[in-house]
Amino acid sequence: MSPRPAWLLLITNLPGRNPTLRMRIWRALKAAGAGLLRDGVYVMPHAAATRRVLEDQAEEIKSGGGLTQILAVEAESPEQEKSLRGLFDRTADYEQIVRRLDALKRESARLRESEARQKLAALRRDLTSLSTRDFFPAESRQQAEGALEAAEAALNSRFSPDEPQAAHQRLKHRQRASYRGRTWATRERLWIDRVASAWLIRRFIDPKAKFKWLKRVKDCPKGAVGFDFDGAEFTHVNSRVTFEVLLASFNLEQDAGLSRLGALVHYLDVGGIPVAEAAGFASIMAGARELQPDDNALLKTMTPVLDNLYAAYARPRE
């Protein structure tokens, strides 16, 4: 069996008196990452997802009275293959994002937290969007992802100091009955992992939990259950953030909604696989942290947000 052709062509013939349709098709294909060979001829790497993109636009063109064909083709020479791949070089786009991240780090000292987090969320959203249409990832993508992590670390060091270092140990399974009616302590000025962990504790582990927000972790009350700081009973372990450690410790990982929430918290706290809702959740959290007078009010504000996210995540994936 011969190998599948490497490229898909969408050849279009649009009605001349329908500029709205022409612009809509152009924008949709550009957003999907298609390359433009010439007016009305678009190319994408051959894959099931890219074929669906082209088929959707072909149907749109036909419904508007146009003509279209989708062809599977192979480059005739290494030079032509290189030329086609060149249409998908995202280096300049990644360089622009890196420059914007560098600018954010420089100006962050004079920004309020909500402004800095919103700018970072917008950059994360742009990088995620660019990555989805980067069919041939290169070093520039890794550099941009590294710059995003560095910018987030810089913001966290300013607005959420004393982030815990991951411990390297085996997790112990705990019985929820042993953690009922306890006082739980973590660092004040809650951010993503801490607010989500406090929500998880109260919703799924200890419904009558009381929380102590610490200015200094060394002031953690004797008998309190510490979380998300160095030396706490529950904190980062290996590659897991505190929320994920709590899931594993209390046998909650089989809950699909909590597992997906864990992926969101992980991405926002230490990076990794992008999550679609991450930028929006981070912006909501930053705004809430700026508006609420203390951590009790902040947890109260964020609880329905997390309740709603959990309800959505618990539904079967479409």
* pLDDT, tens only, 53-103: 999 999 999 988 899 999 999 999 999 999 999 999 999 999 999 999 989
Q: Where in the chain is CATH 3.30.70.930?
A: 7-86
How does pLDDT run across 112-158, given as a tens digit for each residue? 888 888 899 889 889 988 999 999 998 999 889 888 888 887 887 78
Range list of β-strands (E), the chain: 7-13, 35-38, 41-45, 67-73, 183-187, 210-214, 225-226
Confidence of residue 199 (pLDDT cuts 50, 70, 90): very high
Residue 163 confidence class, pLDDT cut points 50, 70, 90: low
**Per-residue pLDDT averaged across 190-213, rounded?**
97
Beta strands in 5-146 (DSSP E): 7-13, 35-38, 41-45, 67-73
Q: What is the dihedral of CA 87, 88, 91, 94, to 10 degrees?
A: 130
**Which tens digit of pLDDT belongs to each residue from 219-248?**
999 999 999 999 999 999 988 999 999 999
Residue 99's contacts (CB-CB under 8 Å, 6 or more residues apart) are none
Q: Rounded to a whole number, what is the largest CA-CA distance in the chain?
A: 77
The pLDDT score that the predictor gives to residue 2 is 43
Residues of the chain above pLDDT 90, percent: 65
Determine how β-strand 225-226 pairs with β-strand 183-187: parallel
% of the chain at pLDDT higher than 70: 96
CATH fold, domain 7-86, is Alpha-Beta Plaits (3.30.70)
How many Cβ atoms from other residues are within 10 Å of residue 204's Cβ? Answer: 16
- Give the residue among 240, 251, 245, 208 at the shortest CA–CA distance from 226: 245
- How would residue 159 be classed by pLDDT, with cut points 50, 70 and 90? confident
Identify the residue whose tokens are 């098709």: 25
How high is the pLDDT of residue 178? 95
